[in-house]
Amino acid sequence: MKIEEEIRKLATKYSLQLQTKIDERVSQMKTDDLSHFLIYQVLGITNEEGHLIDVYQNKGRFLYKYAGSYLEETTKMCFLHAFPESGSVRIENTLGVKPKTFEIDCLTGQDAIEIKWRDATTDGDHITKEHTRIKVIANAGYKPIRIMFYYPNRQQAIRIQQTLETLYQGIEGEYYYGDAAWQYVMDRTGINLKAILVNIAKENQANDS
């Protein structure tokens, strides 16, 4: 099976799973305790608006989870197609006790690639954990490489990403985001992942219209 066919097949699988999860949750919410709507009302939110907010908040959680998992898995597929020996591995945390191990999303030769569809965290502890992770990876003889397809919009989250980029550079790693991340995947694998996804998205939009 060609890589584009595999990516399309995976998109269909994820789409069906996402819709199933959303339908199940919306159905469950019909019997939810709505006593918290009192506080919504105190803050000027109507019952109708509060219901919509709750529904879309739940839908959003599933969407972000599945969107991230899909893009990360398709990226791994591209590397596996180009480098059959590549794959996810876990290495021991030699600089602490928690966590016991760190996962490398895609190990290709000596390149330890971390794949993120986006990272909007504003948690400062995230920097400490990531710093430890990439030091452990470097100490194991690998080059830490981070690719993140979508950069955050909020200033606090942007500052954290800028700090992470500095950490990667300081340990002789590499950090790619936005267009550079898509280009990195194409340069390394020869697969224009973004173009494939754009085509799928256009076809879905045409079918919905």
Per residue in 67-117, pLDDT (tens digit) is 999 999 999 999 999 999 999 999 999 998 888 999 999 999 999 999 999
24-45 burial: b if 16+ Cβ within 10 Å, else e: eeeeeeeeeeeeeeeebeeeee
77 near 191, Cβ under 8 Å? no
- Distance, in Å, from the CA atom of 111 to the CA atom of 109, rounded to the nearest integer, reads 6
Q: Which pTM does this prediction carry? A: 0.91
Q: What is the mean pLDDT of residues 32-54?
A: 96
Pair of tokens at residue 107 = 């190990």
144 upstream amide cis, omega within 30 of 0: no
Pair of tokens at residue 2 = 């060609």
Which helix (H) or strand (E) covers residue 22, if one does? helix 3-29
Question: Residue 172: pLDDT above 70?
Answer: yes
